[in-house]
Amino acid sequence: MRLDKYLKVTRLIKRRTIANEACDAGKVLINDKPARASYDVKVGDIITICMGQKPLTAKITAISEHVTKENASDNYQIIE
């Protein structure tokens, strides 16, 4: 699954266009490297989102095409 779609589906970022713009601006890192929106995410990857005051770091635990609002957080684990 593409990185921008994963961020939107898991609700880490509200909209896919915002996720796409954040990736283009270098504000999203995968395993401490800047990632493009087209990056194919894998289970075990570490995502760092540097938007706002404090960066958010999460580990991908699952990848699902469709999730409900209640189950969105089951796809990742917050590290920091």
pLDDT in tens, 5-37: 999 999 999 999 999 999 999 999 999 999 999
Question: What pLDDT does residue 47 have?
Answer: 95
Question: What pLDDT does residue 51 have?
Answer: 87
Q: In degrees rounded to 5, what are phi and psi of residue 56?
A: -105, 125
pLDDT in tens, 37-54: 999 999 999 999 998 889
> In angstroms, rounded to a whole number, what is the distance separating the alpha carbons of residues 43 and 33?
16
> In angstroms, rounded to a whole number, what is the distance separating the alpha carbons of residues 69 and 80?
21
Sheet containing strand 46-49, strands side by side:
33-34, 28-30, 46-49, 56-60, 76-78
Residue with tokens 């075990």: 44
Q: What is the mean pLDDT of the chain?
A: 92
User: pTM here?
Assistant: 0.90
